[in-house]
Each structure stands twice: as C-alpha cells, then as structure tokens.
Structure 1
Amino acid sequence: MLQFKLECKRLFSGTVNKLVLALFLISGLVAIYQGAQGYKSQRVDQYKSTVVFQKEREYVANRETLPEPGSIAYYASAPTQWQLSPWAALFVGESQHSMVATKIKALALQGQIFNREIVNPSQQRTGGLDLGFVLVYLLPIVIGIVTVTLISDEQHAGRWRLLSALPIRAYFQVYKQLGLRFAVIWLLTAVLLISAAALLSLPFDGTFWLVCAAITLYMLFWFSLAGLIMSLGKSSVVNSLAYLSSWVIFAILIPGAIHLYLSNSYQTNTPLEISLKQRLIMNDGWDQNQQAALDEFLSHEPQWQSTSPLGDTFDWKWYFAQQHLSDIAVDEQWQGYLQNRALRHQQLQKLSWLSPALMLQFGLNQLAHTSSYHQTEYFKEIAHYHQQIRHFFYDFMFFDKAVTKEDILNFPLYKNQPQTPSQSFSSLLFATLLVFGLAIFAARRLTKLKPI
C-alpha cells in the first residue's frame, strides 16, 4: 500500500502530468456539452418540422374549399428524419455537415435532396469538437506524456541500475507504473462516458459496453506502443520524439492519405452535376411538346395511362410528369452516385485497419449511425418516401379526383426503416488479438532491457 501511495504521489507530483490530465477531462466535458447541444438542436429541428407539417395539414383539412390536387402537391412539404442514435451527440460523423430533417415535395427529387439552406456564418458553430475527437486524437497524447519517459527518467536520475539490482526486477516496477497510469486514464475516460450517459439518457446496453471495450483496446494499443519505445532504452527526448512521430503517422498522416486516396478514387462532382442537369431538363420542358412529355411519362408509369389528354391551358399533370422525367434523366447518375458511396465506405472500412485512430473513429461513427453508410441509407429512404408522395397525388391529378379532408389526413407520413447492425464483433475480436500481441511483444522487450 505504501508503494502504491508513493507511485500515486509520483504520478501527480509533476505539474505537466496534472495539467494534461485536467485538460483532457475538461476537453471531454466541453465536447460532451457541445455535442449534447448540437444533438438537441438537430432533434428540435426534426420535431419542429413534424409539428409544423401536422398543423399545416390540419389547416388545409379544415378549409371550407380545398385547393386543387396539383396546388396541394406543389406546396405540401413533408418532413423526413435521419434516424440518428443518441450517441450522435458524442460522435457526430457526417451528421454535422448534412440536413437531418430534409423536407420533400412531390416535385423532382434531385432538385430537393441536394438543396441546402443558406446558413448565416455568424450562427455557425466554431470548430468540430466532439467526444470522438477527444478520444481519438487527444487521448494518445495524454498517454504519451505520462508514460513514454518513465524508464528514461529513471536512467537520467541514476536509479535504473539500482532498481535492476533489486530482487524484484526493475521491469516489474515499470509494469506497476504503467498499470497505475492506465487505471487513472481509464477512470477519467469512464467518468466522461458516464457523464455523457447521464446527460443524454443513454442506456447502459450493449452499445455502451462496446464503446467502452473499443476505447479500452485503443488505450492498450498506445500504452503498448509507449512500452515498446521505452524498451529501446533511449533518452527522454528521443522517446518523446518517437512517440510523437508515431502519433502523427497513425493519427494524421495515414488517415489523411487514406481520405485523399478515397477522394481521388470515388469522390466526384456528381451531386452538383445531377442537380444542374435535372433543373435544365425541367426548364427546357416548358418549350417542348407537353403532350409528348406526358406520353413519355406514362410509358414509365403505366398505371395512369387512362388519364385524359392535355388541353390548351396549363395542366398540373404535365408539370409533375415533366418533374419526374427530369429525375428519370439523371437516375443512372443518381444510382451510380449511391453505389460509389457504398464502395467508398467499404474501402474505408478495409483501409481503416492501417490506422488505429481511423479504425476507432470509423467504428464509433458506425455505432452512432453518423457514418457515410447511414447517410446513404437516409438518401435511399428519402427516395422511397418521395415515390410514395408522388403516387399519392398522381391518383388525384391523373384520374381527376377531388381531394377530400379525409385524404389530407391520410397523407402518407415518413417512417424510418429499422437499422441493421453495422459493426462486426469479429472485427473487434481480431483487433483485440493484434493489440494483445503488441502488448506481449512490448512486455518481453522491457524484460530484456539492460541497465546502463
């Protein structure tokens, strides 16, 4: 017990150690608060969109005279929701760059799905701090500062040769020191996770313990790497530079190179091209034969072929037919874009094994449903819901049926599709074996370190 107290006193006696641990804890708490506010804002936007749409629907249904179906279809803007996990407050992923409550009309899909509201820069949140950033990037720095110079400091003070001469070998003392530091940092991380769970009402379910396991494994990797560097028996300066270089490689250079490779391989200007082409086709339709456009539309949608031909005046049937034709014209590009995103996600999953930092960030985003995979699934759900809205209004426009109050109240609402688990336990098990292999190798290296 006395030795344990001495080790604790040694750990917290240094100003640098106390400062870095305090900064880690404060940064984590700030990230949790900021993430909670951002997630709350997203949920409020989704809730407001739903409430506003319900009130608009009730207002239209209570009117004495209902507008014609085409007019209702033009103005009816139905909300959708990206089904984010509450963990999205801690691991924001792609959700901070996307609209999570996109409103959809019966108009052309491609003119809406990539439409972004103009955001006032003065109202933008500065930076992108979330708990994922703190754990992925700051946690390894904390580990390095409190561990990587343990042996070199003993050597510099002349105590290492004395420790090596004791019956209890010196490396056992190093193991105890590393264990104490691991326990302290793990407890600080546990405090952050428990605080987040309390603030966001996160259940202590399998996801919570999977996050804990992944972070523990990530910590073990960096502690093992620090032990491997210490086993080289170099000076404090060399050890610190070696650890810092490793952090730059695994947390900055490799992830940056992977994202650059994926951007060059898969990322294109497809969304801009799709949106521009769709709008040009829609605008050109005003100067073309409208009956021919309607006939072409009916060849794609044969269930409304019994509709009457167009007259000489403006007809909503042609307008919405032309809207859908503009979507059909870019459908191949749209499907290619979705496939491209899926391939990019699969490739990122494979390449993330080259960097523990990227692998942890990828896994956390998957658990929070904020990855590019879940964003693509959201796009697909929007496209399916858009089809439901179109077909709902087509029944009235193409068959010359009047809209009743009951029809307004029976308007199809958006429903989230159940999310399938996207994180494999086999991957976590394989990563565990690799990290434990590194830890054992580092431990054996430390046992062979000779006194100098």
Structure 2
Amino acid sequence: MYRLLFLQFLRSRAVMASLVLILILGGISIGIGHQFLSQKKAAIDQVESHQKSHIERNVELHKDDLGLLMYYLKFAFVNSPNHLAGLSIGQSDINPNVQRITIKNLEGQRYDTDLVNPMNLQSGNLDLSFVLIYLFPLLIIVFTFNLLSEETETGTWRLVSVQTPSKLKYLLTKLSVRMILIYVVLGILLSVAKIALSIPLDANFMMFVLLSSLYIIFWFALCFFIINFKKNSGFNAVLLLSVWLVLLILLPAGINAYVTNKYPVPEALSTMISQRDGYHTKWDTDKKETLQKFYEHYPQFEKFGYPTEGFNWTWYYAMQQMGDDESLKDTRAFRQKINERENASKQLSAFLPNMHLQLAFNELSGTSLRQHLNFLDATGDFHEKLRLFFYPSIFKGLSGDAIDWAKFTPKYNISDTSDKKHNRFIWPLLIASFIIFLGCIIIGRRLH
C-alpha cells in the first residue's frame, strides 16, 4: 500500500513543484548563510592586519605623548560567530561582532553598530530558520488540507470505508507518506547546510535537528486535527492558512507590542544624555573635584596627585571616566529593562511554538539578544583592562616607546554557545504536539 500511496501522491505536478520550490528556497537560504559567515570571517581576518598598521601609524605620529596617542588608538575585541549562525542569523545582522574601542568613555562606544543598508534590515534575511519556521508549515498545509476531503469529494471514501478495517489507520498511513517526504526534504537541507557551512556534529546541531523535527510533527498534528472535522477542501485550506497567519504573524506581532509597551526603555536616551553630560560638563567643573571623584573610583591612582594647572592627561581621562560613572545608574536600568523584555518574550513564546523555535534557534546559534549583551559585558571587561594597563603609564608622562605594542593584537571573546539545559527547548514543542495529538485521537474516533 505504501508504494501505491507514494506513487499516487508524487504523480501530482503541484506536489513535485512544491518540493522543488522548497528545495530551491532552502538552497538559497543556505547560500545566504554561507555569504553571511564569509563576510563576518573576512571582517575578522582584516582586523589583525588593520590593528597592527593602525598602531604603528599612530605610534610614529604621537609616540612622544602617550596621553595623546591613547586618545587615537583603538583596540579590537572580536566575537567570532558560531557556524550555526549561518542557519539562524538572528540579531547578528545588526549587532557587530567586532568592537574597536579606545580607553575613553565606554558607553559612548559600546553600542556603536556597523553601517547596514536599511532596506536589507526591513526585508530581513532568508536564512534556513526562516524556511523551516515559515515555509515548511505552508508546504505541510498544501500536502494535507485535502487528505480526507479529497476522498469524499471524489466519491472514493465509501469504497475505502468498506475495504479497510480502520479508516483512521488509512488516513494516518496517507499522512505518514507526506511526513516522510517532508522529513526527506528536511534531511537534504540540513545535510547540505552541515557540509556547506562546516557545522560540527555537536550537541547544538543535533538539538537544531531535533527541534526542527518536533516542529514538523506539531504542524502535521495541527493539520490532521483540523481535517478530521470532515469539512470540504476549500474550508480546510482557508482555515489552515488562517491558523498559519495567526500563529506566525499576528500573535508574534501582538506579543512584541505587548512587551514593548509593558517594558519601555526611556533609559536608552537618558543613558546617552547622562554619559555625554557626565563628560562635557566637567570642562567647566573644578578640576580637583573631578579628580577626587576619579580617585574614589580608582583609589590606587591617587598617588598621582591633583594637578590642576593647565591641561593634563590625568584630569582629561578622569573626565572620561566620569561620563561612564554618572551614566552607570541609567545603564543598569537600561540593561534591566532589556533583560525583562527578553525574559517576558521567552515566557510567552512557550505557548507559541514558532516563536519558541526561533528563540531556541538563536540561542543555539549564538545570535540571540542575551548572547550579544554578554558580548557587550565582555567588551566592558576588556575596556577596563586596557584602562588599568595604560593609566599608570599615561599619568607618569611616559612616551609611546615605553610600551611593547607587539602584544596588542585583537582579543577574542571566549563564549560558550552550548546549553546544558536543552530540555527547556524541547518541552514546549512536545507538550503542544501531545495536546493536539490527543485532540486528533478524540475526533478521529468518529471515523470508525
């Protein structure tokens, strides 16, 4: 029977066209992911040579004044992308993976982003996660909307009812034919992606495969649940497409609007203003007062005294530090609001499989908002180490020749994108599929 059902199903030109189209779109998405990773790799490869020439050029020009030299010097801190990022680009298309910072005020530099074409941001990326989350459900709908209604509309259902001992088993057999074809397509795309993007066969990739498989089961269960109401093909198609629209477009948009309104972030503006005022107003503030606040932050540097006559680099970098210190309260409030948004989105997505899957893909690929914020925190630590290294030499009035510049190569963020709690990704999809499957059993009894 299986062979006959396969041949009957594949005989349809619409089915073959749909399979070819999804394979083409999947191939394009893998190509886009490969291009994305190549661009990131090319940018990282250029960083080392650029930083070396940048340091050499500025040292040659300003080596007699280390304070002035450090005003210009930038040091690269790199967040190397995970190979899985080619499958789920997430927010890494707008968040830079290379930070080039000076030892001046941090908050004015930490949130700088690369120049990106806004039209590209508006349209988004056709990565493989988009194909899996948005297009595979449409393919499943096309394959299943007339699973039962086709039999009744062509008049063959009565014949099937007489010849088969279980009508439900017959429908599940037809459904399994479609599931096998979908999983074959999924296997082809994931295999090609693994080879093309050089993805290691690690726990994250295996979880990516498992979640994709569970998501497909969820949509097949949902489609089977709806077609068991024995409506005509047109009604099934409209209802399934409406469900697709609600689940993948309307509800995520509503959740985004809710989270945005519930957790507004006016601190984003106040952080920028307080950071700028914290620095610029110090030009008109008593120098001793600025230095006193600076030494409260760094008591180990108080030995350099309170030079208040004329311009000096101790006072200047103390002003820079004050910009960060005076915006610290707003910065913490801003980060708290962002974390609250992230946590609320994760909690609500547990009831929405497509949104949950997107967030899970981003987590596995290292392209989530949380992981970018961790990179920004690591950037702050890197910036602080630079300050603590250079401040003593600047305050002593040393020249640029006193520093061994050869050791200042780009530093790389050591981040672990693996997650030991993979169960939290699995359960929402399993529970949703199980609930719908129970509904299918209850309604399917009507077929006996």
TM-score w.r.t. the length of structure 2 is 0.93
Matches within 5 A, 1:361-400: 361-400=358-397
Q: Residue 109 of structure 1 aligns with which residue?
A: 106
Matches within 5 A, 1:23-34: 23-34=21-32
**Match of residue 163, structure 1, among 160, 164, 179:** 160
Identify if the C-alpha distance between structure 1 residues 339 and 47 changes in structure 2 by more than 3 Å, giving closer, same or farther. Answer: farther
SS in 2 for 1:258: helix
Which runs of 5 or more structure 2 residues have no equivalent in the other structure?
none
| Paired residues of 1:70 and 1:393 also in contact (CA < 8 A) | no
**For structure 1, which segment, 104-113 or 291-300, has the greater mean C-alpha deviation from structure 2 after superposition?**
291-300
**Cα deviation per residue 1:307-355 (whole Å; 9 max; x = unaligned)?**
1432533211111110110111101111122222222222211111121
| Paired residues of 2:211 and 2:426 also in contact (CA < 8 A) | no
**Match of residue 35, structure 2, among 34, 37, 49:** 37
**Cα deviation per residue 1:88-113 (whole Å; 9 max; x = unaligned)?**
11101111111211211101111111
Is 1:8–2:6 an aligned residue pair? yes
| AA matched with 1:87 | L
Is 1:261–2:287 an aligned residue pair? no
CA distance in 1, matches of 2:121, 2:245: 29
| AA matched with 2:95 | S
| AA matched with 2:213 | T
Q: Residue 54 of structure 1 aligns with which residue?
A: 52
Q: Residue 244 of structure 1 aligns with which residue?
A: 241
| AA matched with 1:424 | K
Q: Residue 330 of structure 2 aligns with which residue?
A: 333
| AA matched with 2:233 | S
**Match of residue 200, structure 1, among 185, 197, 215:** 197
Identify if the C-alpha distance between structure 1 residues 430 and 31 changes in structure 2 by more than 3 Å, giving closer, same or farther. Answer: same
**Match of residue 143, structure 1, among 140, 143, 150:** 140
CA distance in 2, matches of 1:126, 1:345: 23
| Aligned-residue CA RMSD (Å) | 2.3
Q: Residue 220 of structure 1 aligns with which residue?
A: 217
| AA matched with 1:23 | L
Is 1:292–2:289 an aligned residue pair? yes
Identify if the C-alpha distance between structure 1 residues 337 and 165 changes in structure 2 by more than 3 Å, giving closer, same or farther. Answer: same
CA distance in 2, matches of 1:4, 1:116: 55
| AA matched with 1:441 | G
CA distance in 2, matches of 1:121, 1:439: 43
CA distance in 1, matches of 2:330, 2:144: 52
| AA matched with 1:235 | N
CA distance in 1, matches of 2:95, 2:141: 35
Is 1:184–2:159 an aligned residue pair? no
Percent identity at matched positions? 26
CA distance in 2, matches of 1:420, 1:57: 32
CA distance in 1, matches of 2:194, 2:116: 31
CA distance in 2, matches of 1:98, 1:65: 32
Identify if the C-alpha distance between structure 1 residues 213 and 233 changes in structure 2 by more than 3 Å, giving closer, same or farther. Answer: same
Q: Residue 339 of structure 2 aligns with which residue?
A: 342
Which runs of 5 or more structure 1 residues have no equivalent in the other structure?
none
TM-score w.r.t. the length of structure 1 is 0.92
CA distance in 1, matches of 2:270, 2:20: 49
- What is the deviation of 1:425? 2.6
- What is the deviation of 1:217? 0.4
Q: Residue 306 of structure 1 aligns with which residue?
A: 303
